[in-house]
Amino acid sequence: MFSIGEHVIHPGQGVCRVIGFKESPSPMIMLESKQGHAKTRMMYPLAQSDRLRPCISKAEAKDLIENYDELECDPFTGRNSSLEETHFKQELKRGAPSTLRVAKTMRTRIREAEERNKKPSSYYSRVLKEAHRRAVEELAVALKLSEDTVSDRIEALLVEDESSLN
């Protein structure tokens, strides 16, 4: 069970904070998510709380960042881009490290397409944007840093990753 003030990963919203519990008419967990500048409050059925998971720990977050270059891309390919997009969106619901892996995979696929003078699939950018947002949110909560600071750290990793490829 989760406690008030704890951060959890909601499969559809990403990082949420537990703000309370409600018993009637059916048991609910009250959550608050923050996307951008707005906060959204929602009730989540206690019976489905197994779909929520705690945010990663500070140690896990540090390890993910320190070992970003060793994080492998997801090799999934489908018969069409719709199946691939569905796969990667499902991965995002799992939280870190999946969100960071998906972001790295999308960046890699975009770069590879551009190197072949091809236009990257439009879903790459959509999934990358959401994966980056979710990864930054969860890492920021785990490391107790601002999202801007975490985003800057990730960008620095990308520059290092790009320079190691050249």
Give the pLDDT band of residue 34 (cuts 50, 70, 90).
confident
Residue 37 has pLDDT above 70, yes or no: no
Residue 35 has pLDDT above 80, yes or no: no
Token pair of 5, please?
């003030």
pLDDT per residue over 99-127, tens digit each? 999 999 999 999 999 999 999 999 999 99
Residues 22 and 88 in one domain: no
Distance CA 13, CA 21 (A): 18
pLDDT per residue over 118-152, tens digit each? 999 999 999 999 999 999 999 999 999 999 999 99
The boundaries of the domain holding residue 21 are 7-54
Give the pLDDT band of residue 166 (cuts 50, 70, 90).
low
Tell whether 1 is covered by a domain. Answer: no
Tell whether 24 is covered by a domain. Answer: yes
SS3 27: coil
Residues 39 and 71 in one domain: no
pTM of the model: 0.91
Q: Region 28-47: what's the mean pLDDT? A: 88
Residue 157 has pLDDT above 90, yes or no: no
How many degrees, rounded to 5, is the angle at CA 26 between CA 24 and CA 31? Answer: 90
Residues 6+ apart with CB under 8 A from 79: none
Residues 36 and 72 in one domain: no
The closest alpha carbon to 28, from 15, 36, 18, 39, belongs to 18
